[in-house]
């Protein structure tokens, strides 16, 4: 069983009404709240369709970007690491997520000040944990993650996120033990040496953020050429609407924490 994409659990959070105030690199319009909610429900349904147990948390109105739960923590088979988001308006999200993690983990570690690191910059494979420096993740944050996971047996490798790209995983995804879906601009850096790389189709770079979740490759809808490439490569593709999350630089990985806890979950 491949621990990097075979999961029994996931955590997601309902989008808030305040999400229209969420951070964005470029303003491409205000998210449609009703459509966002429908897309989110479809996403959660896709996760559950694999047999996984999905914990759906209530919306946090005080944190417009809190639907993007992946940035708050890294969940591994041995334990969880609470992140320290690099955007000041998101700093409180990690602390709020921590109590939820105690239902699944006994060993929870925390990235402390002054370092910053967000889950969107972390790609966990069967071999290693790749972390991209970005506007939200510092080299100090990566080193703090290395210290936090070394006794769990992980190798943490620092890589570089392309200029103008919010998170490392904006441009890449894990497809299986040996295969990465990546934009050409990210793959050109050489960070995936030793892996098989499938490139997103020209003009479809925005679907680089896709997730492998058990038997499914869940990708944003609207990228037919890349979907066809993945289908022909033998993956079971499930497309989910992402137009509203994309207005806030969000993608498939951002919307969930995906994991298999090391022990039976502790009931609240």
Where do we find the tokens 């995906």? 258
* Token pair of 127 as six digits: 């071999």
pTM: 0.94
- Residue 84 near residue 98 (C-beta atoms within 8 A): no
199 catalytic, yes or no? no
Mind listing the pLDDT tens digit for each residue in 173-220? 999 999 999 999 999 999 999 999 999 999 999 999 999 999 999 999
From the list 167, 172, 199, 207, the catalytic residue is 167
Mind listing the pLDDT tens digit for each residue in 121-155? 999 999 999 999 998 999 999 999 999 999 999 99
Mind listing the pLDDT tens digit for each residue in 13-44? 999 998 887 666 566 678 899 999 999 999 99
| pLDDT for the residue numbered 212 | 98
Mean pLDDT of the chain: 93
254 catalytic, yes or no? yes
Alpha helices in the chain (DSSP H): 33-48, 91-101, 139-149, 184-187, 224-232, 243-246
From the list 172, 191, 207, 254, the catalytic residue is 254
* Token pair of 245 as six digits: 């999350």
| pLDDT for the residue numbered 158 | 97
Mind listing the pLDDT tens digit for each residue in 76-101? 999 999 999 988 889 899 999 999 99
């Amino acid at each position: 069983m491949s621990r990097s994409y075979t999961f029994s659990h996931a955590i997601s959070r309902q989008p808030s009404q305040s999400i229209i105030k969420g951070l964005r690199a470029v303003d491409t319009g205000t998210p449609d709240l009703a459509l966002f909610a429908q897309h989110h429900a479809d996403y959660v349904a896709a996760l559950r369709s694999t047999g996984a147990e999905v914990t759906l948390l209530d919306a946090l109105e005080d944190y417009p970007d809190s639907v993007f739960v992946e940035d708050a923590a890294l969940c591994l088979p041995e334990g969880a690491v609470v992140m320290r988001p690099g955007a000041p308006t998101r700093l409180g999200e990690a602390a709020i997520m921590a109590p939820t993690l105690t239902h699944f983990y006994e060993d929870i570690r925390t990235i402390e000040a002054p370092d910053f690191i967000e889950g969107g910059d972390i790609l966990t494979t069967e071999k290693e944990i790749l972390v991209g420096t970005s506007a939200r993740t510092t080299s100090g944050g990566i080193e703090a993650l290395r210290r936090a996971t070394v006794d769990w047996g992980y190798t943490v490798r620092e890589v570089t996120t392309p200029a103008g790209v919010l998170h490392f995983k904006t441009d890449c995804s894990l497809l299986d033990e040996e295969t990465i879906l990546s934009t050409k601009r990210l793959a050109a850096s050489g960070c995936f040496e030793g892996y098989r790389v499938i490139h997103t189709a020209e003009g479809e770079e925005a679907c680089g953020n896709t997730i492998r979740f058990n038997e499914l490759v869940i990708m944003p809808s609207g990228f037919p050429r890349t979907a066809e490439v993945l289908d022909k490569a033998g993956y079971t593709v499930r497309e989910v609407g992402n137009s509203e999350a994309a207005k806030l630089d969000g993608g498939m990985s951002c919307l969930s924490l995906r994991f298999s806890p090391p022990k039976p979950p502790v009931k609240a």
